[in-house]
Structure 1
Amino acid sequence: MFAPSQNDVRRFFCDAFKKRRDGSVMTPLETLAADWVDQHPEYHDDLADVDAALAAVFDVDAGRTNPFLHLSMHLSISEQVSIDQPRGIKQAFGLLAAKLGSAHEAQHEVMECLGQMMWESQRSGLPPDGEKYIDCVRRRATR
């Protein structure tokens, strides 16, 4: 299993952003990451300077969203949907995106469910509950 460090993740997104701006050759994953960065111009300043990005502290209590966490969740959800893992996420996501009329807004809703699942797993010490995660997404699609 690939387990990048916090700095690895930050460098990856900063590099993808730079390559997109420079018109450099990109891997498919960098292209997907840059596509998500393009949809979040509020993060461009955070990604423009890799040294500042590596040193940055994103304190939730101070009202700062961590752009690297947010973009990583977009990538995770994109991958989950593309391979339908956990099984059922592709359909649940499709229903939610259709309801909201926006795949991007659906991703943000799914992020809430993903974050909740991960928090519960960390708190309980149990593996993430994929069924509960899918149920959360389905509820959002049908309410």
Structure 2
Amino acid sequence: MFNPSRQDARQFYFETWRKHQEKLPLVGAELIAIDIMLSHPEYHAIFNQPERFESQEYPPELGETNPFLHLSMHLAIQEQLSIDQPAGIRKHYQALLVKHQDAMIAQHEVMDCLAEMIWQAQRQQTAFDPVIYFSCLERKLL
């Protein structure tokens, strides 16, 4: 299993952005990442300044979104959707897509639920629980 460090993950985004800006070919996860990055223009200035942001802290108590975590959550959701794991995630996403008629809004709804499920698992020291994940997604559909 691939387990990048925080530095590795950030370098991946900086390098993907650099390659995109220089019109160099992108491969593998870079192709998915650049689409996500382009759909978040609020982060573009960060990608243009790796030396400034490679070690930037984003403590939750300051209420600032960690752009690298946010993008990584998008990548995780894209992977889940591509293989429909946990089984049924694709169906829930499609329902959110129909409801909102906007892929980014639908993904952000899924992200809220993924974050909630991760928080619950950490708090209770349990494994990933698709029941928690899907019950959150079902609430989003109401």
TM-score by length of 2: 0.95
User: Which runs of no fewer than 5 residues in structure 1 stay unpaired?
Assistant: none
- Distance in 2, Cα, partners of 1:35 & 1:74: 10
Question: Secondary structure at 1:85's aligned position in 2?
Answer: coil
1:86 alignment counterpart:
86
Pairing of 1:49-68 with structure 2 (within 5 A)? 49-68=49-68
- Distance in 1, Cα, partners of 2:87 & 2:132: 12
- Distance in 1, Cα, partners of 2:53 & 2:8: 11
2:113 alignment counterpart:
113
Q: Return the letter of the residue paired with 2:36.
A: W
Question: Secondary structure at 2:87's aligned position in 1?
Answer: coil
Question: Secondary structure at 1:19's aligned position in 2?
Answer: helix
Q: Which has the higher helix share?
A: 1
Question: Secondary structure at 1:23's aligned position in 2?
Answer: coil
RMSD over equivalenced CA pairs, Å: 1.1
Question: Secondary structure at 2:85's aligned position in 1?
Answer: coil
| Higher mean displacement: 105-114 or 61-70 | 61-70
Is 1:27 the counterpart of 2:57 in the alignment?
A: no
Is 1:132 the counterpart of 2:122 in the alignment?
A: no
| Higher mean displacement: 69-78 or 132-141 | 132-141
Question: Matched residues, percent identical?
Answer: 40
- Distance in 2, Cα, partners of 1:134 & 1:87: 10
Q: Once the 2 structures are TM-superposed, how far is the Cα of residue 50 of structure 1 from its aligned partner? A: 1.9
Is 1:10 the counterpart of 2:5 in the alignment?
A: no
Q: Once the 2 structures are TM-superposed, how far is the Cα of residue 71 of structure 1 from its aligned partner? A: 0.3
1:98 alignment counterpart:
98
CA contact (8 A) 1:113 1:133 kept: yes
CA contact (8 A) 1:96 1:138 kept: no
- Distance in 2, Cα, partners of 1:95 & 1:13: 30
Runs of 4+ in 1 over 3 A off after TM superposition: none
Question: Secondary structure at 2:54's aligned position in 1?
Answer: helix
Aligned length: 142
Q: Return the letter of the residue paired with 2:87.
A: R
Residues 51-78 of structure 1 deviation map (CA, whole Å, 9 limit, x = unaligned): 2222211133223210000000001001
